[in-house]
Structure 1
């Protein structure tokens, strides 16, 4: 396993600081992503209770055998199964009382109001305290970075396979199938989102999912794809040309490429995410295409495809070593087409490292 960061993060220390800052006795995680972040076990349903003395993962019968086996490799996690008429919440309440937990933090950025009302009723008289955990997973461990880097490597292989076969006459769905087949054969769990293949005029659709449209000669094709490996997502976009796309299309490709390149080169600890966005946005504006850049420049990526921090004008977060962000400027011109280039970038101790390695320049087939 590659060591990316000199200083490893301590998840227990992070959560203990949350307890102190919010005057809590414990934290209840319900979101699958935060439960996986701490327990390293993914399940669609369950609770994870963190306190100063113990971390308990509550699972139902679908997951208990696998959970018990995997929890042995995770520090300070005890697994439980729903095995009484009261179900999860009765077991949880018993655990809270046994551990003298009176003030219980919950994920205010995830829990629905309806679910909050259920917890409030079932766990009374315990006090529920809303806490924003949206920043919790922003800085990755070396193990997490390695998983995401492998997801990126599988993505690199997928676009390499596309370049071997893409030609006029193929449908967008056929291009998508090459990518998905690569994910399966390379050991990915599944795509991290619905693959985007937008050819010709459809390239003006930032989220143009693959269709049965037949790719024509002299077009650009924007392909946005990613996979999940060991629970972590990759997110890459490449724009490929077939034949000889028009001078206008090649011009906007070069502008997007130069905007992305300038933004990537500015990445280092302490730089604000809004600054990275501004660099890309100002460059595209200076070339007269600002109105056609219609989204933020990027986002964090990890267990979820979109995570904190946002790389946008409205998110002024200093970059830290261990953060992984995307940089993905684009230009989308109705009735003509579009271009987007996207890479996953690790913030290092001194600068950045591209986790996506495939060629970012325009390739004509």
Structure 2
């Protein structure tokens, strides 16, 4: 893991800084191994410190990577940080520009007097996580397999008359029963006309014959996320919904087939978008094709029409086209893939054949 700190130190050197304060939780875990909710990670050119409060001292000592000193703050986080800055002669200090709030930045200015220069570095630390190593890929693959197991179990209990909220609760129960630490985002269950709402919140709406049922959920396993969507039907769907399902599936399969290292992420989006548009539903596919997944559920790269990302080996991301027709319903199909040796490896194993319960 020292290689990760080495990459941060390269950024510190390139920016002419003496150190960098990490506050984002995903970046803290990635760089230090600490998974608690409160800390400040200070990385210098040669040393690194994780400043925590009494609640997390033992946990931090058990979790941090080699080369990071755990420091329990005395009067306050700021006083302890400033003391280290003073002792180490660190006057030029960077921070995650996309993570630190303005109010926190103002507190840094007021309470870190030895940081004579504070400089935001945008999302450069986030981008260190864009390509996963072998251990990360295996953790994500296990999370995805666990999601597949959840889907298999949940098919056994879905029946007309259930509410969306009951089904969402069952999905999250199965996650934990099978070993997940929890959901990676708020579970989406949307039936009937509500399936046209891309990010619908489960309600007391009851499943009824003919409904399209969108299930979008993910798990957290060993600190890494999964994400999958399947659309199934409660009884025989109408002809238009079956047609829409076939179009979405064709678009997703074509996008998956097109993937390779070195391609523009926007080109992958275009493959799926063009198929949906030619079928006459272009106006009903209003989100991007996919997004990176890792410690956080939404990471780089972004597979969208406007994305400037170039897909590379080690990137893990979703592929999830959809069609949503207000007053009728919606269909989304989502898999997670990783690029290995220039080609996509689909991590998601759940069937995409149309399921009619």
Specify the TM-score bucket, using the shorter chain as the normaliser.
over 0.9
Are 1:26 and 1:105, in contact at CA under 8 Å, matched by a contact in 2? yes
Q: Does 1:62 align with 2:51?
A: no
Q: Does 1:364 align with 2:356?
A: yes
Q: How many residues align?
A: 354
Counterpart in the other structure of 1:81: 72
Are 1:154 and 1:182, in contact at CA under 8 Å, matched by a contact in 2? no
Q: Does 1:94 align with 2:87?
A: no
- Shift, 1:99, TM fit: 2.3
Q: Does 1:121 align with 2:110?
A: yes
Q: Secondary structure at the match of 2:208?
A: coil
* TM-score with structure 2 setting the length: 0.96
Q: Secondary structure at the match of 2:155?
A: helix
Counterpart in the other structure of 2:92: 103
CA distance in 2 between partners of 1:210 and 1:145 (Å):
31
Counterpart in the other structure of 1:4: none
Q: CA RMSD in A?
A: 1.5
Q: Secondary structure at the match of 1:363?
A: coil
Q: 1:168-247 alignment to 2 at 5 Å? A: 168-247=160-239
2:334 maps to which of 342, 355, 359:
342
Change (3 A) 1:207 1:214: same
Q: Return 5+ residue gaps in structure 2 as ranges.
A: none
Q: Does 1:153 align with 2:145?
A: yes
Are 2:2 and 2:66, in contact at CA under 8 Å, matched by a contact in 1? no
Offset from partner CA, 1:226-248 (integer Å, 9 cap, x none)? 11111111111000112110110
Counterpart in the other structure of 1:3: none
Q: Return 5+ residue gaps in structure 1 as ranges.
A: 1-7
Counterpart in the other structure of 2:9: 16
- Shift, 1:9, TM fit: 10
Q: Secondary structure at the match of 1:156?
A: helix
Q: Does 1:330 align with 2:348?
A: no
CA distance in 2 between partners of 1:9 and 1:267 (Å):
32
Counterpart in the other structure of 1:5: none
Counterpart in the other structure of 2:288: 296
Counterpart in the other structure of 1:287: 279
- Shift, 1:20, TM fit: 2.3
CA distance in 2 between partners of 1:286 and 1:223 (Å):
26
Offset from partner CA, 1:91-130 (integer Å, 9 cap, x none)? 1112122222221110001111111111012112421111
Are 1:158 and 1:178, in contact at CA under 8 Å, matched by a contact in 2? no
Are 1:161 and 1:178, in contact at CA under 8 Å, matched by a contact in 2? no
Offset from partner CA, 1:139-195 (integer Å, 9 cap, x none)? 112222222111111110111011122222222222212211111111111111111
CA distance in 2 between partners of 1:171 and 1:229 (Å):
27
Offset from partner CA, 1:214-262 (integer Å, 9 cap, x none)? 1111221000001111111111100011211011001001111111111
CA distance in 1 between partners of 2:157 and 2:110 (Å):
59
Are 2:176 and 2:182, in contact at CA under 8 Å, matched by a contact in 1? yes
Counterpart in the other structure of 1:131: 121
Spell out structure 1 runs of 4+ moving beyond 2 A: 97-100
Q: Does 1:27 align with 2:1?
A: no
